[in-house]
Chain A
């Protein structure tokens, strides 16, 4: 009996099960293409590429990775990070949806999809304003 208890406690201690993060809601991707990042940083590797208006489940971020500008998200089986500026509460008017046949005719390959998504990670956007 004692040995069974020892084995069980060992198994529980080293359980590979993932800790379930709490789902906070669904937001929509608002750029032409984009990426789910491994880390909450613009230049971190991509886990998957997203297209405009893709619904994204926002999760509670792990404590060690809580960052104001980044959301911890789940897309399909993938969990990673997306900058808050790339997510909207409503579906946005996407180029792909407005001109679907034209966009399909471009026949973008995987490399082009990757780069198009990356483009938005590299832009520094601004606007001059009257003060």
Chain B
């Protein structure tokens, strides 16, 4: 037993000695000399290339990583914001309800084509609430979203052409940039297409814009000047189609009567001032003799 312990002790001593001598050997290597050897072996350019490649990959990786922190670009922003607003206000607007196919798609396409407005994309969303009678939200690639209140359409007993005329009015409101002006869309410029790498994401701007849209749709609406411009645009557009022009005039008359008699839609004049004025703007001026 004693012999065995002694043997093990000698073995461990020799192992330690071997390790020490190896370390000494490494210490003894002159690396600057080795560098010369590598140079003479033409390995230095390969090492340099490798280092450069690793550096390039690192830069590329950082770029990709940084790109993940982009805010939506202009091609995506407005569709995103409009849809997000609809999602946030789903409970108020009540658009998630079962309904028949009203055939609005064909009626709108027909009217736009009749007036020579081609390649106009649209998405119609009927809502089951009178809080908004009709309203348009911008979309990217001019694929706008049009909200139409079913209670409003029912109360007026609107025909498909009349509904399409309301959509046309809303189309011009977007075309004339009234929506962007009224929600102060300039505040979106600080984030559209920008990057927030190593910064805090600016959700306050998004919330501000959502609030402004709600304010425009439910409270503030459009001003007289804007309404005048829209009405004049409709007038010019429909003049060469007297039947449609008459339908538009009658539609304004219907709306005017409704908003004066039905408390449910009394807010209409605040948002779109005012059907009565619109009728006057459209009526030919009477000459007083």
Contacts and interface: CB of A to CB of B under 8 A. Distances in A.
B122 A126 contact: yes
Given A128-B119, A129-B119, A123 B69 contact: no
A124 interface: yes
A56 B80 CA distance: 24
Classify chain A: how many residues form its interface, as a range: 20 to 34
Interface stretch (B30-38, B43-51, B88-96, B239-247): B88-96
B167 to A, nearest CB: 10
A126 B118 contact: no
Interface stretch (A10-18, A58-66, A92-100): A92-100
Contacts of A116: 83, 87
B121 interface: yes
Contact of A128 (B68, B88, B95, B109): B109
Nearest to B107: A126
Interface stretch (B55-63, B70-78, B179-187, B213-221): B70-78
A115 B120 contact: no
A115 B105 contact: no
A105 B113 contact: no
Given A122-B96, A128-B118, A99 B72 contact: yes
A101 B113 CA distance: 41
A126 B142 CA distance: 12
B123 interface: yes
A118 B96 contact: yes
8 contacts: A95-B72, A99-B68, A115-B90, A118-B96, A119-B86, A125-B105, A125-B122, A127-B121
Given A106-B84, A112-B88, A128-B112, 6 more contacts: A95-B80, A101-B69, A102-B71, A115-B86, A115-B90, A126-B105
